[in-house]
Amino acid sequence: MPLHLLGPRPVHSHEAYAALDDRRVLPMAALPILLIHLIVVGVVWTGVSWAAVGVCAALFFVRMFAITGFYHRYFSHRTFRTHRVTQFVFAWIGASSAQRGPMWWSGHHRHHHRHSDEDPDMHSPTLRGVLWSHMAWFMTEQGRSTNWAAVPDWAKQPELRWLERWHVVPVLTLGAAVYALGATLQAWAPGLGTSGAQMFVWGFGVSTVALYHATFTINSLAHVYGSRRFATGDDSRNNFWLALLTLGEGWHNNHHYYPGAARQGFYWWEIDPTYYTLRLMEKLGLVWNVRGVPARVYEAAQAQGVADDAPRDRAA
């Protein structure tokens, strides 16, 4: 099947990527997102059970880690190393979040860091508004295209190229799996009060929509609300509440100042569950060369006292 039947054609140069329309929402790009949101309405008919809520929460946090730990800190910034098998497993889990493939995600994120809160940045709330930066940007022609020119390091791996092309497969697999789980529990453990439909609505629908909006807050709210430790040349903020919601991604000003660290909570009181999990995986031999925060960054933190309304001067 030609790739363009599943989505936009791939883009292989920065010039071609920049030439794509980034201002108009495409109905066909918005439709899948709308349909996933509509699944949530099913709670009216399926009801709720502790089993369904438990699976919903588990899939939220497991997939959130795949996004924060691998889509973001690994594929986008290469802050640690891992085996090809581990890499693919977490890429698959990340793709099951219905946030497309790791090349799409990391390509756009690298572009964002090059142009943060400048005109080419597609999801700057400063320039385009919170709602646009939260969701609308990835429904445009440019937003839904994979910028292969930004990820030449990953583009040569055939299994990642396959997953990028068939990123819908993990989504469908997860939906079928949670439905089958619910149907099995209904037959073998009726006391749990769940069913295939209920487990699908909660385990896939509610979990995915919650994951969407938690992830999207970093593009939108983390550039509007919070404190700034560093002068980064953009409006990135540190936000404790967003850090709790996203397993540590809320320390966004830290991250924009030094994106090369696997750790985004630079101090012990800045909670960062993604980093803690990566350290555990390092002890288990699943990842290695987990990059920390260099001393010069802490020295800069002591030297800079950036107020919320400080000018956006680029840091050295």
Phi, psi of 176 (to 5 degrees): -65, -40
Q: Which one-letter DSSP state was computed for residue 147?
A: B
Predicted confidence (pLDDT) at residue 307 exceeds the cutoff of 60: no
**Confidence (pLDDT) at 6:** 45
Please tell me the predicted confidence (pLDDT) of residue 7.
Answer: 58
pLDDT at 23: 84
CB 246 within 8 A of CB 63: no
Average pLDDT on 178-191 reads 98
Cα angle: 42, vertex 94, 262; to 5 degrees: 135
Whether pLDDT at 3 is above 80: no
Buried b (16+ CB within 10 A) or exposed e, 131-155: ebbbbbbbbbbbbbbbbbbbbeebb
Give the separation between CA 214 and CA 134, rounded to whole angstroms: 10
Please say if the pLDDT value at position 270 is more than 60: yes
269 token code pair: 């009181």
d(CA 58, CA 207): 9
* pLDDT at residue number 305: 60
- CB of 68 within 8 A of CB of 93? no
Look at residues 269, 264, 257 and name the one whose alpha carbon lies nearest to residue 296.
Answer: 257
Residue 10 pLDDT: 67
Span 253-281, average pLDDT: 98
Model confidence band, residue 312 (pLDDT cutoffs 50, 70, 90): very low
Residue 45 has pLDDT above 70, yes or no: yes
- Contact yes or no for 56/202 (Cβ under 8 A): yes
Q: Please list, in sequence order, all residues whose beta carbon lies within 8 angstroms of the beta carbon of residue 110, skipping any fewer than 6 positions away.
A: 76, 150, 151
pTM of this structure: 0.92
Q: Greater confidence, 10 or 231?
A: 231
**What pLDDT sits at residue 5?**
36
Q: What is the pLDDT of residues 210-236, one digit of tens each?
A: 999 999 999 999 999 999 999 999 999
The predicted structure's pLDDT at residue 314? 38
- pLDDT score of 12 more than 80: no
Beta bridge partners of 82: 287
So what's the pLDDT on residue 8? 62
**Is 9's pLDDT higher than 80?**
no
Q: What are the distances in angstroms from CA 248 to CA 68, 88, 213, 274, 278?
A: 8, 23, 15, 6, 12
Write the DSSP assignment of 244-277 as a string of letters.
HHTTTTTBHHHHHH-TT-S-S--STTS--HHHHH
What digits encode the pLDDT tens for the residues 71-106? 999 999 999 999 999 999 999 999 999 999 999 999
- Assess whether pLDDT exceeds 60 at residue 186: yes
Q: Alpha-carbon Rg of the chain, whole angstroms?
A: 20
Phi, psi of 39 (to 5 degrees): -55, -35
Give the per-residue pLDDT at 301. 87
For a pLDDT cut of 70, what percent of the chain falls above it? 92
Q: What are the boundaries of each domain within the chain? A: 34-101+167-303
Q: What pLDDT score does 309 carry?
A: 41
Average pLDDT over every residue of 179-185 = 99
Q: Are 239 and 226 a contacting pair, CB within 8 Å?
A: yes
